[in-house]
Each structure stands twice: as structure tokens, then as C-alpha cells.
Structure 1
Amino acid sequence: MNARWWLVLERAQAALPVLGAAALAGFTWWLVQSSPREGGASGAKPAASAPDYELHRARIVRVDPQGRLEAVLDGDRIRHFPATERLLVDELTLAARDAKGQSLHAQAREGEADQRAEVVTLRGQVRAQAVSYPEPGSGLRRDVGPANFSGEGLRIDTRARVVSSNTAVKMEQDHSVVRAQGLRYDQNSGVAQLQGRVVGQYDAPTR
């Protein structure tokens, strides 16, 4: 091999580290460009407004540690939204019962609930009924009839046994019929707190 070829070979060998570094830089750039970016399309999570699953004519059931049925939520269509861990329910029907036998029943055009149906918000043509047994010592009769509620919006806490509304609502019980701009009804005590302008006739249970 003559001196000219040796010179070419030496120059090529000297250039190898530079070429290797350039190749490595190019590969690194390609890898970064190909990797999913946070919030990008490749690694995107479902939008907050998009459900991750949908059920039709489905039922959500909650039982206590002893296996006793506590609440049943039925819906014509139930969608789960992972961003809020909430259920959106069409044509909702709710039934709940506590250890004392007190019951809550409700139906509405649609509603929203957590996955255990502990707190349920009902909207549209809402009808609800609470059959109560006031706690001993409350001074309230235990033979009062069911309390019935109707309106366009109600919130039912099946754990605390509270029915509430911050919109117009009608309450009927025995011979009482009242309309108010808001309501909080405690099923355990049988006490209703009416808010805003109240119209109608309310016959309080005899103490």
C-alpha cells in the first residue's frame, strides 16, 4: 500500500469519532421526536368530557359489610367519566334503605352519581319519596306519612339520609302541601327546612 492510501486511511480514521458523534446525535433527535409527548396525541388520555365506558339498561348496587342491600341505582344509559369518577345516568331510578328500615325512592329524567350511589343529583321531572322513622326523643310522631318531593332538581345523600334542593321544589306530607325556593329535609329527624319564599299549608307533626 503506497503512502497516498495510508494518508487517506489515516484521515478516515481521524474522522470516525466525529461521524460517530453525528450519528449518535441524529439517532437521539429521532428518538425524541418519535417518543410520545406529555399531553400529545400519542399519549393522550380520554378528554374530561368523554366517557371511558357506557352501559345500557344497567344497575349499580351497594351493600353493607354484612351483605345487606343499601342502594340500587338503575339507568337506561349509564356513562362513566374517568376525570371526575362520576356516573351520568339517563332515566334514573334510585332506591335506598338503611338499617332502621327507612327508605328513599326517586326517579328523574337524568342524574349524576358517584360509583357507589352514595350521593345522587337528579335533574328533570324529579319525583322522590322518603319513608321516615324519627329518632327516639325527637318529640316527633312516628306515624307520619311519607314525605313526597317534586321539582326539576334534587340532591339525595343516601348515607346521611338528606334530601336537598336549591331550586323550586314542592313537598307533600299527610295534609301538608308547600312550595319553596329551596329545601333541606333530614330523614332521620323528620325535620324539613324550607328556604326562600314559601307558599302553601304545612301541618307540623304533633310533638
Structure 2
Amino acid sequence: MNAQRFRLTSLVPLICVAALAGFTWWLLQAVQPHEKEAAPRPLTHTPDYFADNFSVSELDQSGATQYRLTATHLTHYEDDDDGELTMPAVRAFQPGKPIVTATGERGKVNADASIVDLYDNAHILRAAGEGDPDMQADSEHFRVLVNDDVIQTEKPVKLRRGQSVMTASSGMNYNNVTRVIQLHGNVRGAIAPADSGGSS
């Protein structure tokens, strides 16, 4: 009887070690990734979400709206984080200065909304200000650089400022801070006497 009890007691440490080894093996299997699990799916240029009547605003340090981007529809893509826009409009607000609005029939916005491209019947409209007539520019494409407060195009552009009309064959650069317009390429037009003075 004592011999049988001795054999059983001597097996207890062996059973504990075997149980510990089994538990360790199970824990390793549970923690390690399984080879049969599928690798993460590569991102593709497919829509991952949509938005209707889309609107996003950028505020200045005082909390006032500095830029506002709106569109009737946004389609966002997972691979490049860009968004395609339908009927986009970008509005720039500066204290004491006329509002500038850039529109197109379609557009594209990057991930942080710092670059907005406007296509198809793209327009820029700057409202009239103190002693400054309204200004409108028309082109196939405008790129709005939000952080630089600049609107530019590499396409032919037609510019109207008050009664003056000009065209440029190779694009335009408009700085909304300095209000300076640069026309590129072959530039033609007529400047009305009433518009010959004042800022651009």
C-alpha cells in the first residue's frame, strides 16, 4: 500500500510538468498568427465611403471661417485617400476683402483638403470690393492651393475684370493674399479706361 502511494506521489510532479508543457504549447499556438490566415488585403482604388451635400471648413486662429469646400456628392477612395467631387465650390473668406468663389462641374480633393482641383466649366468669381470691380476667370481646370491661398491653371484662361477682358494661352496664377494676377503664354485683351487704375 505504501509502495503504491509512493508511486502515485512521485508521478504528481511529472503530471504537473506535462500539464504546464501542454498549456505553454496551447498559449504559443493561440498567440502566434496562423499560416493559413489570409494576408492583409492590399488597398485598391475603390470607393470606401460616400457623402451627399458634403461640406468642410477651415478656420483661422480666431475661429472664423477661412475656407469652405462644398459639393453635392463626394466619393472617397481607400488607396490614395483622395475624394472625387460633384459640383464642387471653394470659398475663401478674408476679413475686409471680397469673397472669392471657385467652382467646377467636377473636382478632386486630396486627403487633408489642402489641394482642390476643379474641372469642366471651372470659374473663379471675386466679388467687387472698395474701389475694385468684380473679377471672373473661366477655364477647363483650376487648382486651389488652400495653404498658399493661391489659385492656378495651366490651361487657356479668359479673365474679365470689370469691363476689361483678357485671354491667356498658357494659364494663370492668382494670389488671393496680394490680389496679384499673372497671365502666362500668349496674352491678349482690352483694358477699359475705368479699370486702368486700382489694384488687380
- Could you say whether these structures have the same fold, taking a TM-score greater than 0.5 normalized by the shorter chain as the test? yes
Q: 1:44 aligns with which of 27, 41, 44?
A: 41
User: Does structure 1 conserve the Cα–Cα contact (< 8 Å) formed by 2:172 and 2:183?
Assistant: yes
Counterparts of 1:88-103 in structure 2 under 5 Å? 88-103=84-99
- Residue 110 of structure 1 is matched in structure 2 by 106
User: Does structure 2 conserve the Cα–Cα contact (< 8 Å) formed by 1:130 and 1:187?
Assistant: no
Structure 1 position 185 matched with structure 2 position 174: yes
Structure 1 position 159 matched with structure 2 position 147: yes
- CA-atom RMSD, angstroms? 2.4
Report how far residue 109 of structure 1 moved. Answer: 0.6
Q: Counterparts of 1:70 and 1:190 in 2: how far apart (Å)? A: 16
Secondary structure of the residue that 2:85 maps to in structure 1?
A: strand
- Specify whether residues 100 and 81 from structure 1 end up closer, same or farther in structure 2 by C-alpha distance, changes over 3 A only: farther
- Residue 63 of structure 2 is matched in structure 1 by 67
- Residue 205 of structure 1 is matched in structure 2 by 197
Structure 1 position 119 matched with structure 2 position 115: yes
User: Does structure 2 conserve the Cα–Cα contact (< 8 Å) formed by 1:56 and 1:77?
Assistant: yes
- Specify whether residues 204 and 156 from structure 1 end up closer, same or farther in structure 2 by C-alpha distance, changes over 3 A only: farther
User: Does structure 1 conserve the Cα–Cα contact (< 8 Å) formed by 2:56 and 2:70?
Assistant: yes
User: Does structure 2 conserve the Cα–Cα contact (< 8 Å) formed by 1:62 and 1:116?
Assistant: no
- Specify whether residues 80 and 65 from structure 1 end up closer, same or farther in structure 2 by C-alpha distance, changes over 3 A only: farther
Report how far residue 65 of structure 1 moved. Answer: 3.5
- Residue 8 of structure 1 is matched in structure 2 by none
Q: Aligned residue pairs: how many?
A: 163
Find runs of 4+ consecutive structure 1 residues off by over 6 angstroms: none
Q: Counterparts of 2:55 and 2:167 in 1: how far apart (Å)? A: 32
Cα deviations by residue, 1:92-111 (Å, 9 ceiling, x for unpaired): 12222124444221221111
Q: Counterparts of 1:99 and 1:72 in 2: how far apart (Å)? A: 15
- Specify whether residues 132 and 164 from structure 1 end up closer, same or farther in structure 2 by C-alpha distance, changes over 3 A only: farther
Report how far residue 128 of structure 1 moved. Answer: 1.3
Secondary structure of the residue that 2:91 maps to in structure 1?
A: strand
User: Does structure 2 conserve the Cα–Cα contact (< 8 Å) formed by 1:62 and 1:117?
Assistant: no
- Residue 9 of structure 2 is matched in structure 1 by none
Secondary structure of the residue that 2:132 maps to in structure 1?
A: coil
Q: Counterparts of 2:157 and 2:42 in 1: how far apart (Å)? A: 40
Q: Identity over aligned residues, as a percent? A: 18
Report how far residue 124 of structure 1 moved. Answer: 0.4
Q: Counterparts of 2:76 and 2:43 in 1: how far apart (Å)? A: 12
Q: Which runs of 5+ in 2 are unaligned?
A: 1-28
Cα deviations by residue, 1:110-161 (Å, 9 ceiling, x for unpaired): 111235543211000112113487xxxxxxxx62212211111111223322
Report how far residue 188 of structure 1 moved. Answer: 2.4
Q: Counterparts of 2:61 and 2:117 in 1: how far apart (Å)? A: 25
User: Does structure 2 conserve the Cα–Cα contact (< 8 Å) formed by 1:46 and 1:52?
Assistant: no
Structure 1 position 80 matched with structure 2 position 76: yes
User: Which is bigger in relative contact order (C-alpha 8 A, separation at least 6)?
Assistant: 1
Q: Counterparts of 1:186 and 1:79 in 2: how far apart (Å)? A: 29
Report how far residue 193 of structure 1 moved. Answer: 1.2
Q: Which runs of 5+ in 1 are unaligned?
A: 1-26, 38-42, 134-141
Q: Counterparts of 1:130 and 1:70 in 2: how far apart (Å)? A: 15
Compute the TM-score of the two structures, normalised by the length of structure 1. Answer: 0.69
